[in-house]
């Protein structure tokens, strides 16, 4: 049974609005000065940096841990995207300690329990030439 043109138009509008949050997740950037970038394992780097405004020190564990992401997020944030993000960070840090780091979250970085001042990211993405840290709260 085919739907009427009016019903089809309403469904298209409703489905279009429903797809907006999934297709365009929110992210924000922060200008940082990197203090250190150390590899602890093939899929675990620790990035220590100062956010420039307002001034604050962060220690962020950049991991690729798809088990902490939803299935949808796991399909988007792949190991290849993580590796691309790490490569871009290394390249940018070879020329300057100042860069913009994106964060895919309205809540900010996720704190690591029992480690004050340390945070985690479960995946990385690269968009518009920026590295985007992805915490597990997207899943």
Q: Mean pLDDT over residues 8-26, rounded?
A: 37
Per-residue model confidence as pLDDT tens digits over 68-121:
777 677 678 889 999 999 999 999 999 999 999 998 876 677 889 999 889 998
Kindly report the average pLDDT of the chain as a whole number. Answer: 78
Compute φ and ψ for 123, nearest 5 degrees. -160, 170
Q: Do the Cβ atoms of 62 and 77 come closer than 8 Å?
A: no
Confidence at residue 12, expressed as pLDDT on a 0 to 100 scale: 37
Burial 57-72 (b: 16+ CB within 10 A, else e): ebbbbbbbbbebbeee
């Amino acid at each position: 049974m085919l739907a009427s043109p009016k019903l089809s138009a309403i469904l298209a509008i409703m489905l279009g609005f429903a797809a907006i949050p999934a297709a365009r997740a929110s992210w924000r950037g922060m200008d940082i000065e990197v203090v250190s970038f150390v590899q602890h394992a093939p899929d675990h780097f620790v990035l220590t940096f100062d956010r420039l405004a307002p001034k604050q020190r962060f220690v962020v564990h950049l991991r690729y841990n798809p088990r902490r992401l939803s299935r949808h997020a796991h399909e988007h944030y792949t190991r290849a995207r993580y590796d691309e993000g790490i490569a871009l960070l290394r390249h940018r840090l070879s020329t300057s300690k100042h860069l913009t780091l994106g964060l895919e979250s309205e809540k900010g970085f996720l704190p690591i329990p029992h480690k004050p001042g340390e945070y985690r990211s479960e995946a990385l993405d690269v968009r518009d030439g920026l590295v985007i840290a992805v915490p597990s709260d997207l899943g």
